[in-house]
Each structure stands twice: as structure tokens, then as C-alpha cells.
Amino acid sequence: MGRRVLITGVSRFLGALLAKRLERDPDVETIIGVDLQPPLTAFERVEVVRADIRNPLFVKVLQATGADTVVHANVVTDEFEMGRGAMKEVNVIGSMQLLAACQKSETLERVIVKSSTEVYGSEPNGPAFCTEDMGPLGPPKSGYHRDVLEVEQYARDFGRRRPDICLTVLRYSNILGNTVNNPVSQYLGQPVVPTVFGFDPRISFIHEDDALEVLVHAVGQEVPGIFNVVADDAVYLSQAIRLAGRIQAPVLPPAPVLAQRALRFLPFVELPDHLARYLTHGHVADNTRLKTVFGYEPRYTALDAVHDFALKKRAERIVREPTPPQWEDDLRRYIDRKLAEGPTTAGGG
């Protein structure tokens, strides 16, 4: 009998990518995608179930499907997407109800929770690298930071109650590449990128291809524990902006904290609170356990992720360029001439 995998957040970027990837895996018999929003991706053999993981009835979905693996990818990182109240409901209450349902399952073997390196926070006196055994660098200063801490606490409680189930918590860094669309890519995609004057934080990324492969690896292997999902290197914010082909514009309000708040409301994109602080102070997570214990070696560096993002933006500019009027005039004349000549017969001279 093949694997039965249930994915929450199948309409979101990573959830949809994982579902498409598992469709090609002959060892996966059934894929159940759960979300309230209809997925934009067309699936071949994913059973899409419209359900709210915040509802206690979700336990019936888990029982009816007989899933042996649950991938919890339904995590909202952008407070502007649905408002802070709804964001907390989805992240915290949704995770609590989901893990409560998993606790009652008799068929479950693995639970994979998508978390974030935001669990460490961003502080001016932070260490060079954040390891998985470290707690937050300071008290939570954003709603998303609090959400991540609470979600991981629920996950640890679940792990203590069901030690027979393999629990894997993946702390993702910022995902970047040539297809992902998130607040970080929107920020770096602006023609002029505002930064806080006097601050040039070290930041890290994980390439979207590596982000997917880590999930696939977690589904296929039993590797319990908490792992930072981040590329080997880090870049300075100014370096990322330059590699992306953008212009840096330092902001200079009376105090750095005001500059940080100013970043949240930009002309082309609104930055979540936690991301504005991250782009002021930054933090870099250590991926040693990802490579030595989890068993995955990232194929792309942070520089590769920025490079692929830059290629995507250049391609978009090329596509958006209008057709030169001379080309259009020549094309119209050619079409008019061919229509006036009429259809040619096969073999005609």
C-alpha cells in the first residue's frame, strides 16, 4: 500500500508545489489537498477538499482519508493578506486544531510543520548564526513572530503526547527564486528599494527549488526534530539590491525605529511588521543540522537565489516591452499582401 499524504494550504506556493511533485511519486498512493481557497494549480490526482482546519470537524477529514503523513503548510506570513486578526486565527488556532486532530489519528506516522526562522526574531545584538537550540533573541515584536512561537509550542506539546509519530519542524528562511511571489520578492522587485539609513543587515534566503526538495525529503524520510532551512551563505541587503538590478534609497527619519516603520508602507508594496524589522537588523540561521542530521544539502546559495530572481525580473521587462511600431507596420503590410494574393495552391510556382 502506498503513502497517503494530506497537505494543508494546497492553494499556497509551497503546498501547491509539493502536491504537484508528489503526483509524480509512484510510492505516494493518495494526495489530499486541504484549503478554504481553491488552488490556482491544475492537479491530476490530488483530491482537493475544501475545509477549514480551524473547525473541530477537521478531525473527521483526517479519519476519513486515513492519511499517514500530514504536511502543515497553511501558514500566513503577510498580515496585509487578510488582516492581523484573521492571520492569527489561521496560524495559531488552525495549527492548534490541526495538531489536536492529528493527536487522535490512529493511522498517522509523520507530521511535518512549516515554521520560520522568524522564531529567532531580529535584534541589533543578535549572534552571527542562530542555531536550532536557541530561543528567541528578544521578546516578540511582531504578530507573526508571536504566531510562530505559539505554533512551535503546540507542535512540541503534540510531540510529547504522541512520541510514536515522527514530528519534523522546518524553519524556513525567506524563499526567493524565479517564480515565487511573496513580500520579500515584491520588496526587492521595486525600481527603487528603500532601506534604513546606516543599516545594512546580513540576510539569508533559501532557493524555491531547495525549499520544495526539503519538504519532499521530509515526506519520504523519517527525520524527527527542528531544522533551519536556509542556504549555506548570507548576503548583505545592499548586495542583494545591487544583484537584483535595483537602486537603493536609504530612508532617514529622526530615529531608526521610525525608519523601520516607514519601510512598512512603501509606494509599491506593504511590508509586514516582522519583515521591516528583519530588513533593519537581519538574522542568519545555521543550517548544519539540515545537512548532517536531516540529510539535505542545499543545491543553491543565497546568491544563486537572488541571481535567479534578477533573471526573472529582467525577463519580465523584456516581455513588457512594446512591439516597435515599425515591426507592427511591416507585419500589417505583410498580412494585407498575403490576404490580397489569396491562398496559394500546393506545388504552385
Grid cell digits, residue 199: 543599516
Alpha carbon 210 to its chain's center = 11
Q: Are the C-beta atoms of residues 215 and 71 closer than 8 Å to each other?
A: yes
Q: What is the rounded CA–CA span in Å between residue 241 and residue 191?
A: 10
Q: What is the rounded CA–CA span in Å between residue 238 and residue 233?
A: 15
pLDDT tens-digit readout, 264-305:
555 556 788 888 889 989 999 999 999 999 999 999 999 999
CB-side exposure of 165: number of CA atoms within 13 Å? 30
- Looking at residue 272, what is its pLDDT? 85
Q: Quick one: which of 121, 118, 105 has its CA closest to 162? A: 105
Strands, E, within the chain: which ranges? 3-8, 28-35, 46-50, 69-72, 110-116, 166-172, 174-176, 192-196, 202-203, 205-207, 225-229, 235-236, 247-251
* SS3 state of residue 287: coil
Grid cell digits, residue 106: 490512529
pLDDT tens-digit readout, 14-40:
999 999 999 999 999 999 999 998 898
Q: Residues 60, 63, 66, 69: what is their CA dihedral angle, to the nearest 10 degrees?
A: 80
pLDDT tens-digit readout, 91-122:
999 999 999 999 999 999 999 999 999 999 99
- Looking at residue 321, what is its pLDDT? 47
Question: Could you give the angle at the alpha carbon of 271 between the alpha carbons of 266 and 275, nearest 5°?
Answer: 135
- Looking at residue 14, what is its pLDDT? 96
Q: What is the rounded CA–CA span in Å between residue 80 and residue 143?
A: 12
| Count of CB atoms situated within 10 Å of the CB of 151 | 25
Gyration radius from the chain CA atoms:
23
* DSSP β-ladder status, 202-203 and 166-172: unpaired
Q: Quick one: which of 91, 179, 134 has its CA closest to 286? A: 134
Considering Cα of 289, then 206, then 147, then 46, what sign does the dihedral take?
negative
- Looking at residue 68, what is its pLDDT? 96
CA distances for 273 relative to 41, 137, 284, 293, 296, angstroms: 29, 17, 18, 33, 31
DSSP letter at 117?
G
Q: Are the C-beta atoms of residues 112 and 217 closer than 8 Å to each other?
A: no
| Count of CB atoms situated within 10 Å of the CB of 247 | 10
Q: Quick one: which of 33, 21, 23 has its CA closest to 70? A: 33
Predicted structure pTM score:
0.86
The segments of the chain whose pLDDT lies below 70 read 1, 252-269, 313-336, 338-340, 342-349
Q: Quick one: which of 25, 143, 1, 22 has its CA closest to 73? A: 22
**3-class DSSP string for 166-185:** EEEEEEECEEECCCCCCHHH
